[in-house]
Amino acid sequence: MFHHFHDDRVHSRAQGSINKDDLNNIIKFIGKDNILDADIFLDKIKTKKIKNNNLCLTFDDGIKSQFDIALPVLEDHKIKSFFFISTSVFDGNPDYLEIFRYFRVNFFKNVNEFYNTFYQEIGKDLLFFFKDKNELIKSKKIKFPFYSIEDIKFRLVRDILLNKKEYQEIMFSMFKKKNFDYEKISKKHHFNRNDLIKLDNLGHIIGLHSHSHPTLLEDYNYKEQKEEYTKCQSIISKILDKPKNQINSMSHPCGSYNEDTLEILKGLGIDLGFKCVMTVEKEKGMKKINNSFLEIARTDHTEILKKMKG
């Protein structure tokens, strides 16, 4: 599972970002022959011929650096991959998640300085909240080893203590204080329509990643979830000029889903879905890592880099 890439020219370094050499090294480490093209992986899932050692490469969130930096590497190796896209940016609404990330990376010395400024902006003492969530923090660290404890605490404040509206209001108020023009940035940092068409023409597969990329989709009711995925599928199908049933793969934004989500995805004819943890989530009733064809496990590239360093 890949997200951000940097080249120290157009695309600045971000938390967990890698450059083209890192991607090359990861591909060499895994072995090109062990990496299946996206269409072959999808076909093996559909025909139940998938094996434990089959793997493929996936890219989430439609981030422009994937197009500029990762795509040429993939094309060099002749590897076709999955690109999972949230579609609100094609609907006139910027993808706030990515803008928030950009703000965090470019307006603060480091991520912890951002977290502290953010907590000050909430204006509440969070000590009790963190104490209360101590066990949850520990279990999240096992599930998401690539997050620091500070990252996990921030995500709990964002997703549990605050609701989406409160969180966004705090971020917008911080934007104002730093004179940050987010609309300009949004256009520069996301795939545009032509990027999607080009990826599709090259044989990569474009899949769903919800419409507005909620950080905790499982909190949405059935109707809201259905709207997220129906919109996403129909926008991609329109851009690529392909029937909806050919847009049949997806990844869960922030790995968040529940029974409703899986039912909705089946209803939309989705044949393959990826989650973003390698653990068995017992609280979700999972029995194995790849629990179903809509819950295929992924490992973050940072975990592979760790293995490469031994």
List residues near Zn ion by CB under 5 A. 60-61, 253
- CA–CA separation, 126 and 25 (whole Å): 41
| Two tokens, residue 222 | 């059935």
User: Smallest distance from the beta carbon of 51 to Zn ion, in angstroms?
Assistant: 27
**50 vs 61, which CB is nearer to Zn ion?**
61
**207 vs 253, which CB is nearer to Zn ion?**
253
- CA–CA separation, 26 and 21 (whole Å): 9
- The beta-carbon contacts of 291-296 under 8 Å, at least 24 apart in sequence, are 292/262, 293/45, 294/250, 294/262, 294/265, 294/266, 294/270, 295/257, 295/262, 296/45, 296/272
**50 vs 262, which CB is nearer to Zn ion?**
262
**50 vs 277, which CB is nearer to Zn ion?**
277
Q: Kindly give, in sequence order, each residue whose CB lies less than 8 Å from that of residue 171, ignoring residues fewer than 6 positions away.
A: 96, 100, 103
User: Smallest distance from the beta carbon of 47 to Zn ion, in angstroms?
Assistant: 28
User: Smallest distance from the beta carbon of 227 to Zn ion, in angstroms?
Assistant: 18
User: Smallest distance from the beta carbon of 189 to Zn ion, in angstroms?
Assistant: 14
User: Smallest distance from the beta carbon of 61 to Zn ion, in angstroms?
Assistant: 4
Could you give phi then psi for residue 273, rounded to 5 degrees?
A: -135, 145
Q: Note whether 30 and 304 are within 8 A (CB).
A: yes
Q: Using CA atoms of 86, 183, 63, 308 in order, give the dihedral in degrees to the nearest 10.
A: -120
- Residue 63 DSSP symbol: B
User: Smallest distance from the beta carbon of 160 to Zn ion, in angstroms?
Assistant: 19
**50 vs 233, which CB is nearer to Zn ion?**
233
| Two tokens, residue 266 | 């089946």
**50 vs 98, which CB is nearer to Zn ion?**
98
Scanning the chain, the segments in alpha helix (DSSP H) are 20-30, 38-46, 64-65, 71-77, 96-106, 111-122, 127-132, 134-143, 149-156, 164-177, 182-189, 193-201, 222-240, 259-267, 301-308
| Two tokens, residue 22 | 């890192």
User: Smallest distance from the beta carbon of 126 to Zn ion, in angstroms?
Assistant: 25
**60 vs 151, which CB is nearer to Zn ion?**
60
**200 vs 300, which CB is nearer to Zn ion?**
300
User: Smallest distance from the beta carbon of 62 to Zn ion, in angstroms?
Assistant: 9
Answer positive or negative: Cα dihedral of 206, 100, 274, 214. Answer: negative
